């Protein structure tokens, strides 16, 4: 038996094209630290987020909860209020900028925020930079921005120093960039998203969805799985073998799943039929993958609308929200705001220590007879039960002023 020089594993459903795009060979460079072994890790993460509905929903919801519904701050700082309403020259509010940072951080475990000012510190602009376009320079003191890392050219890249360093640009502005990253042992230059252990189950969820699409395309007439011995020398030979098998056995596209696998000398190609009675196994596999995705994110089903089949309980939703608030949301908010507060102080001379994100519970959780300090506590804000101003009831400071009802 011929010994293959290169082992290949190919999975095909009918003759449908593999949705994972074929990427060109990346350009090697000594100018930056690769993000992943092939420098394509962020592209892979972004692609995976477009393949799994559950994975994408959790990332979106995490970013929204972290962003909250607005800000609480000292109203004696009018300049701070104006900056919150317009954080950059594009007219984005600070909330919009933070939402992009929270999204990138939830998806990539990394986020980048550009700081723009001038020598007189007469203005401040905070601009989100797409994390997929950013790489850490070899000196570990700069970030390189490039539109296509598969065809990197230093002449086409922009370089920004990591905060608190600033460098002057040709237009006279001073620029810097903040790099947010989730800690992971052994990873010095880039963070790792917290759901990293769930990447495989996200792929399973996607493949079971894709299998169901094939069932729909073929009026649910599935045949089975064709296991093909792996004695092939290259990926090209493996793909050619799959196409030949499809033409001979599959009939309509999608009726047979072809798998080229590693096998022993006694292991031969074989066909495993799948009948409709196996449908439950596929559903169970998908449901298990969905549950594992939620666990990998340290999240809760109820906060992303994933428990619709069993109904919703307000009490349960609020309990799980409180857990998420204290284990995920507040920590992310503090990490995002801390360097922004430093920038506001160093550039504009603003004391922004009062700046806090006002959280948005999934349901209305505060009755009108709750006191202000209790409401602030529920929203994760600073509170003082002894502060006379916080002794008022919500009914006294909202449109639901029940004291006016005689």
SS3 (DSSP) at 351:
coil
For the chain, domain boundaries: 52-195+310-365, 205-296, 366-406
Question: What would the mean pLDDT of 360-380 be, rounded to a whole number?
Answer: 75
pLDDT band at 5 (very low <50, low <70, confident <90, very high): very low
Per-residue pLDDT reduced to its tens digit, 283-309: 777 777 788 888 888 898 888 777 655
Residue 391, pLDDT > 80, answer yes
pLDDT above 90: percentage of residues in the chain: 47
Identify the band that residue 213 occupies on the pLDDT scale cut at 50, 70 and 90. Answer: low
pLDDT band at 263 (very low <50, low <70, confident <90, very high): low
Cα separation, 281 vs 347, in Å, equals: 59
Beta-carbon neighbour count of residue 57 at 10 Å? 18
* Mean pLDDT across the chain: 80
pLDDT for 264 equals 57
Give the tens place of pLDDT for each residue, 156-168: 999 999 999 999 9
pLDDT value of position 304: 79
pLDDT score of 191 more than 90: yes
For 232, 243, 259, the CA distances from 217, given in Å and listed in that order, are: 31, 19, 20
| Dihedral of alpha carbons 37, 39, 42, 47, sign | negative
Model pLDDT, residue 401: 40
pLDDT at 1 over 50: no
> What is the pLDDT confidence band of residue 8, given thresholds at 50, 70 and 90?
very low
Report pTM.
0.71
More confident residue, 137 or 248: 137
Q: Where are the alpha helices (DSSP H) in 260-364?
A: 279-296, 314-324, 330-348
Q: How far apart are CA 125 and CA 353, in angstroms?
A: 19
| Dihedral-angle region of residue 123 (phi above 0 means left; psi in -120 to 50 means alpha; beta otherwise) | beta
The tens digit of pLDDT for each residue in 54-66 reads 889 999 999 999 9
Q: 88-108 pLDDT, tens per residue?
A: 999 999 999 999 999 999 999
**Using 50, 70 and 90 to split pLDDT, how confident is the model at 20?**
very low
pLDDT value of position 298: 87
Q: Which of 71, 62, 115 is nearest to 340 (CA)?
A: 115
Taking only Cα atoms into account, the Rg of the chain, rounded to an integer number of angstroms, comes to 27
- Note the pLDDT of residue 372: 83
**Residue 81 in contact with residue 75, Cβ under 8 Å?**
yes
């Amino acid at each position: 038996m011929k010994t293959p020089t290169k082992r290949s594993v190919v999975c095909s459903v009918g003759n449908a094209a593999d949705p994972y795009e074929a990427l060109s060979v990346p350009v090697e460079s000594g100018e930056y630290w690769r993000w992943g072994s092939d420098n394509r890790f962020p592209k892979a993460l972004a692609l995976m987020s477009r393949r799994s509905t559950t994975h994408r929903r959790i990332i979106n919801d995490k970013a929204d909860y972290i962003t909250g519904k607005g800000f609480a701050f000292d109203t004696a700082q009018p300049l701070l209020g104006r900056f919150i309403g317009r954080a950059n020259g594009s007219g984005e509010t600070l909330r919009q900028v933070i939402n992009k940072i929270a999204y990138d951080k939830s998806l990539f475990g990394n986020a980048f925020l550009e700081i723009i000012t001038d020598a007189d510190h007469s203005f401040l602009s905070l601009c989100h930079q797409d994390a997929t376009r950013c790489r850490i320079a070899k000196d570990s003191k700069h970030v390189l921005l490039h539109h296509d890392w598969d065809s990197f050219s230093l002449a086409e890249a922009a370089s920004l120093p990591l905060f608190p360093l600033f460098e002057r640009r040709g237009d006279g502005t001073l620029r810097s960039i903040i790099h947010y990253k989730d800690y992971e042992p052994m990873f010095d230059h880039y963070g790792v998203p917290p759901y990293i252990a769930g990447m495989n189950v996200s792929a399973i969820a996607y493949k079971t969805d894709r299998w169901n699409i094939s069932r729909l395309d073929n009026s649910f007439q599935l045949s089975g799985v064709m296991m093909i011995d792996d004695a092939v020398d290259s990926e090209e030979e493996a793909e050619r073998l799959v196409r030949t098998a499809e033409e001979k056995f599959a009939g309509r596209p999608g009726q047979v799943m072809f798998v080229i696998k590693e096998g022993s000398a006694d292991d031969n190609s074989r066909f495993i039929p799948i009948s409709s009675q196996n449908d439950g196994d596929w559903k169970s596999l998908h449901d298990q993958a969905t549950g594992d995705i939620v666990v990998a994110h340290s999240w809760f089903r109820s906060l992303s609308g994933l428990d619709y089949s069993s109904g919703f309980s307000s009490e349960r939703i609020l309990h799980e929200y409180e857990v998420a608030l204290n284990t995920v949301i507040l920590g992310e908010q503090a990490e995002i705001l801390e360097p922004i507060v430093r920038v506001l102080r160093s550039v504009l001379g603003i004391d922004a220590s009062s700046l806090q994100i006002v959280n948005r519970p999934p349901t209305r959780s505060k009755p009108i007879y709750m006191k202000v300090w209790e409401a602030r506590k529920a929203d994760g804000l600073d509170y003082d039960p002894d502060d006379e101003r916080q002794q008022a009831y919500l009914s006294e400071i909202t449109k639901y002023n029940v004291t006016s009802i005689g």
